[in-house]
Structure 1
């Protein structure tokens, strides 16, 4: 997604200055410069004023009012991930001057993984006119040529020629703010009051805006005036304070160095916003407890003592999670089978098992603190953000589940390399079983854990370690208690055949966990055009592990079969870890000549009519046209791919759009392989099924 935004932003910045040039005079212009509303595609434009009269030496508020069809929008001064704000070119009588066009409070307009900033329904853009004191009374006329971009799933540039009749009237009274223009004047972001303070801290991944208003604020959004400073679509995290609000905004991945200052609009509600400019101070600010994303309820407050208590109880409950319970169950079976051993020996194993869990948790919390110190944000289960970790963990759990299901005998201790290791190095087995319990616990979050961990990650290192230590002790407590009170094992059934059956049943939750991890693995690659291929490779890894397990079960206690199984398992694990090269096809620039040549050669042709300012175009390109399935069909059927880039007006592209009865982008057209065949025009919003079905129909000779 970042590459798409970077590419679209690059083209937009290069071409935006050319977008509303004289070359655009060839676009259809609505209106003749007279007063009154003008109807254009998907909107109505009108030039209005608060009064028909303006006094010599006085001022008058006029404005551009755009009334939009449902679900269509126009843009704020910074359009977000794509787009272009409206612009006005004035033709004014001598003695009258126009100030800058003002923009009311914008809204966030999401589309897929991207975000626009703009307006829906109706919006007015105020402009202040100033009359010279030397003006003579009488009628006058002001003229405005407006350029705009109106978007829904498709984006359509437009031009309107508007006008307004005024009277020069000495002593004309001040006009009252009424109507759409009057409302817009109340929605223009105001400067920060003198008793309000804003500071900005810039970290490696976030900007933290701290606003002090004297009262608790529960909502806030930041809209940057400059492009490529924040990740527009990323959620903005609100941290209410007793005297204001702290807002955490994700930095743009394209922003390599911190800006000297941050300029934009800080929106506290639909009717209250401030235009802000503040210097950026380098530094890191840890998230505060009780923070929330805009629109979500704040979390309840948690104290250090309650967080430690919640973590301990959550750790105990964690033993009942499907991914952890099989490990505890195996340790319980070991206690039943070894109940005749000395109590001191059993206690020692319980303590070593607990130590394995503690050490593992301390390593995890140390990694979290290191990431936090370097500016990264991570939480419980942060390892699950790594596809490599997910693949290895899923493969390990699947292989262990095969052993529990009875395919082969791996032994009760997962750290056993051979049958005698658990006996010769029993404490080693107990320690690493505690390590295993921690590893398989990371995908799970037991009840009560969420609030405790969220609190801990925002606290100083000492409190963070204390909370995670309590969580570790909770996880270790059930087995530790049984090892100190082996008499409690009497309530368990005596050893027998039931143990083998129950052990096999515990394979079910582990298989379920492996399936869930495979789903997580697929989601980590969901933004990749070959996401399905990644998931398929993990499933091939499972098959290889099943073959390795079969070899161990077929020839048990045989070093040759063990080596063969190890090689097969290593090969299987290498399959999901392999990262294939990007094979995205290259699109040629559209021209009538390239289209004619491809059709004359009998090739099917796919034309992508797009523009850098078209958000729907970027979503379709990322989610559909670059997907592995669609790319494969393009290549398989020798489809000529042409990109008609309309970022800068091109009369040849406009003519081609008109030939398929379209006037905006995105537009997608397939010309079948048969010569002289008619164009197949696809919908503005694409899915892979739509494109694949159309290709299957159109590429047949």
Structure 2
């Protein structure tokens, strides 16, 4: 039965998807300490747990603190880490009747980090906190209570190292009402930290703000003339942390100018810390009203220290040029490998309908266009909703969702089985005039437009990178207009054929060949399903080419070869040549999983060779991190960064045909480039920020960062050729 066969295929696919999840593993980190107070020596720092006094009274409190002493130039984080990182946190194991407040954070400093800014501390810092004892708290046999916590942190310099420690301390529990010494709050590390904890605004202190959608002017009134101030945001992913903060002194306060991140609307409130001097800071919440902001012109360029180079064109883009680029990119998108199978099916439907009247043909074109435009509008709506919630995503973001990828794989597999003739969906191309086809034709055209949009989203064709990057950093109306232009460009070829029937003379005449061609068209859709299953596994696993996920994908390749052989047998059952061909396909399908299975030696060697590509041992791609990029450039080395993703077919084509060739690898090696791969298969805020810094929002993107940190990066085209890359390498060498 056709439907029963389809069900078997779908069940197999679901089992493979479950397998990809079950095979994922998590790495375990070393834990320092054995539950004592310390000090404990960890990577690049020492940490200990101290108390302001030895006792705590029932019904009373005591102040404690985690004291970090860091190696030179290493830093640890504030509660808002800034560009990257995370603050320390602790999981407590406390006796009954004992509770601990959250860690308190002294006022931080701004720490330049890969062209961006982190918020944190160098040299040493203490995170104080208060412990409470309930009136009915009971001590142990020795009259003490033991506090034990599992502390986690991240320490960074050119690289970042996570750490954990088990720390504990004993306090004597004394009767309620007993005076408890807390001399540590007067002198020592806890006292110094408490002195620098931001205060609540004093009487007479007020703050308010206005925003024009790109900047925020934060005014705070203290009653005195302020000449210096710094603002540290508590809201993550809101401000450009690396932007200057110019200040206007006022007779009774000051005004600080802040720059919003691209793609980020102005908030209704802004939360943060205003630092007036080293010993005075206040935690504030200010309402933000719409209004004009006279941002000093000198700071606009400073807000983008890693802005796109002239080659990217991002600096000169306007709304009209972005729409033109998007429109041209949409037209070219029809030729991309991720879109072509769907477009090919639609072209066959044109052949079928060539005898229909002009009005009906145009209606099909308009409905197909409506399906594309509506789909793009839906994507824009999701992007804007996510942006208003503070999230930052780029083009193709939905393919970072395992749920979306799984549903899409099932949809395309279902569609491909129908094209293969396993069952019919009323899509026969030879039944011209069939009443059911006529009744559902417009719905089919609309659905084809939707499907074209869905499979187009992994691709970034020529002109699209700059246009989309610009659109996602603009107000909602501009974003909508640019994406509408992109949708119209994608729909234009088919729409033009329906409005100008004379162009159809170049198309072949209808015939029985169309049913055969329809079945052949299912083959690229099966390839797409294989790719989606592989991508699904990458979203859960490490992407190791020898992982169980990739072996599952290879098994699907074997199933594809098997299905081709079976189709040949069914199509030409009495042909001896077809039988021989089918047997060869069947034998190849059986042999393929065994022939490509890795040997134990390959598995053992793979841990050292995973990132190596065709240029030899010195041509290794290392994972992209802002710290690694900063370290390489600080050492005077140019860096080639490949922003890529497993779901980006254009990325894979560029890598196979250009980046991984011996000629390009040899040129990169001779120029002493550091090669980095920024894998955006799963959402990564560091990669998203790096793309935003060069005016892009999707992949593929290729960037050459010169060895001098003051030089601007060079953004290459989305579609690479060897000559383009070699010319960019020579250009960098001439700087």
- Do they fold alike, i.e. is TM over 0.5? no
Q: What TM-score does the superposition give when structure 2 sets the normalisation length?
A: 0.42
Q: What TM-score does the superposition give when structure 1 sets the normalisation length?
A: 0.44
